Amino acid sequence: MNIKNYNYNELDELSAKIRKRILEVVSKNGGHLSSTLGATELIVAMHKVFDSINDPFIFDVSHQAYAHKLLTDRWDEFTTLRQFGGLSGYTKPKESAHDFYMAGHSSTSISLAVGAAKAIRLDGDEGKKIPVCVIGDGSITAGMAYEALNELGDRKYPVIIILNDNEMSIAKPIGAISRILSSAMASPFYQKFRRTTESVVDTMGESAHYIAKKFEEGFKLITPGIMFEEMGIEYIGPIDGHDIKQLCETYERAKELKKPVIIHVQTIKGKGYEIAEGKHEKWHGVGPFDLDSGKSLKKSSKSATAIYTDTLLNLADKDNKIVGVTAAMPSGTGMSELLEKYPERFWDVAIAEQHAVTSMGAMAAKGYKPFVTIYSTFLQRAYDQVIHDICLMNLGVVFTLDRAGIVGEDGETHQGVFDISFLRALPNLTITAPSDEKSFHQVMGFAHKFSTPLAIRYPRGSFLSRDGLAQSKDYALGKSDLLIENDSDILFIGYGNGVGRANLTRLEMQDIEISFLDLKFVKPLDEEMLKRLSKKHSKWFVFSDSSYSGGVASAVLEFLSKENITNISVKSFEYSDDFITHGNTVQVEESLGLLPKQIAKTINELL
């Protein structure tokens, strides 16, 4: 959609039309809502002033980029948002040439912009093209953003950073005076005056330089941009992120500066949908909902996250040594209630997974019992800290990994499939997974008393059904549960939510006798049990919501190789070596051949 010739009234009308389209689709499909509604005008203005093909548009996390998708030839296709085979909820270059980079994790945008600016300079296109990135006030809390700002301020590459402040966290103490002064500092008059003054002062000696510098520093101290200015990056703002005229004029000025610029833009989360406006975390990411009332249309049984919350609250009530941390996801990880009830013992440290892990290591060293609650996909960001600051010290930190397995509509950037593979290599770390509500309560009791590093993974939503299986026995280190034993040659080995998947597969094969093991621990394995079962069952089928490479079947095969047990065939129903696309979880699993009916058919063919 070419909007270069639109006037400001037409751009306002277009913004309203885009918001309506976003609400229509997200209310049916689910998705990110409040942040993308709030960013509508600033994105419309970007497309008015810049060229999204030549000027790389880089959206941090990119969950706020729905308006960008609608402006780049995806208006009709937008009904497929987050659906299997449809549009991604994030930017994706395979989807459109207007999407510079794939993003789903936060705080990468400024680094990407620096890299793009380096390439533009090497290509000889500096002055013709300029990277434009959008980063939220949440994402800029992560250390990676400051690493990039540090180099950018030193190298002075032309880059425009739009800081989307939708919490008023930076500018709140400043108010109207700051807005007036910042607007003045951004004006062509001020910039020309500054350049002229600098050239005059250069001829007047060191004393004049000192006085001029002190005057400018004093002038800027009452603006929120002093930190960025001190890093060598021009600061403009704060400006109204819903005023398209002001946005366009500011973007044009920033472009003329030909240096690194931060434009501080204030927006309202959920803008245009009154129910979602403001600091309502529940409207950040939503399932399908009724557009008139805002009520969720999705009903489900008790989630694994809710079980975790209840259990940890109960433990924390009884033991004041229990502490915990999450990284900007208190609601999603079920930590909100703990933060509210025990604010002196549970913390949200913002988007800072590395800091979260290391800080809890120090607490463990001081005799506390930390629970680090992070999505499986986000623990990847703190891998070095898990190794260096927890496992190396052999500290009793518990990693509770929410959203393990396929997460559905968020897709490739969020699938929690790698945690077993990257954690299993670490010395001193024990890895386990519950398979239902009862076993989750049991493993939390086990974790509370466990004195060395422990990782617990559990799925998004509710556990798959264990109906017809024996109850889980109490947790003991490295001990599995043999749930069904018979003289069959077939052994199902389930791990975590894979127990439910294996059970549903078993129910599809009721004419065949199957022995059934809940592995419970992938590290250490219950080697005694596996040795015993190897003497009776020669066809082993492994079920786990995790990557095959380095996963549960790999652990089993390594054990068999170590023990020189050669009579066993092992077939894994884990995920193949690929990134898993977005979409409804059932449809995604069907595409992978991992629905119980499909697995049962595969096993019958093998037999």
Residues with a catalytic annotation lie at: 269, 353, 381
CA distances from 512 to 172, 440, 491, 507 (A): 67, 30, 11, 10
Q: Tell me the three-class secondary structure of 6-71, residue by residue.
A: CCHHHHHHHHHHHHHHHHHHHHHHCEECHHHHHCHHHHHHHHHHCCCCCCCEEECCCCCCHHHHHH
Are the CB atoms for 133 and 112 separated by under 8 Å? Answer: yes
Written as six digits, the tokens of 62 are 């990119």
Number of helices (H), then strands (E), belonging to the chain: the values are 23, 19
CA distances from 263 to 103, 229, 507 (A): 21, 12, 59
Task: Detail the DSSP E strand segments found in 114-177.
Answer: 132-136, 160-165
CA distance 52 to 31: 24
Give the long-range contacts of residues 279-282, CB within 8 A, separation 24 or more.
279/167, 280/34, 281/330, 281/331, 281/336, 282/331
DSSP for 531-552 reads HHHHTT--EEEEE-SSBSTTSH
| Partners of 234 in beta bridges | 261
Under DSSP, is residue 98 helix (H, G, I), strand (E, B) or coil? coil
CA angle (90, 241, 291) in 5-degree steps? 60
CA distance 592 to 586: 10
CA distances from 458 to 57, 464, 564, 566 (A): 36, 11, 32, 32
Task: Detail the DSSP E strand segments found in 454-601.
Answer: 454-457, 481-484, 490-494, 515-518, 521-523, 539-543, 569-572
CA distance 30 to 584: 11
Exposure b/e, 253-278, CB count within 10 A at least 16 = b: bbbeeeebbbbbbbbbbbbbbeebbe
Q: Is the sign of the CA dihedral 13, 16, 21, 22 positive or negative?
A: positive
Are the CB atoms for 260 and 234 separated by under 8 Å? Answer: yes
Rounded to 10 degrees, what is the CA torsion of 249, 251, 255, 257? 70
Exposure b/e, 162-191, CB count within 10 A at least 16 = b: bbbbbeeebbeebeeebbebbbebbeeeee
CA distance 87 to 31: 12
Are the CB atoms for 328 and 105 separated by under 8 Å? Answer: no
**Which residues make Cβ contacts (< 8 Å) with residue 423, sequence separation at least 6?**
386, 429, 431, 455, 523
Written as six digits, the tokens of 148 are 């990039």
CA distance 520 to 544: 11
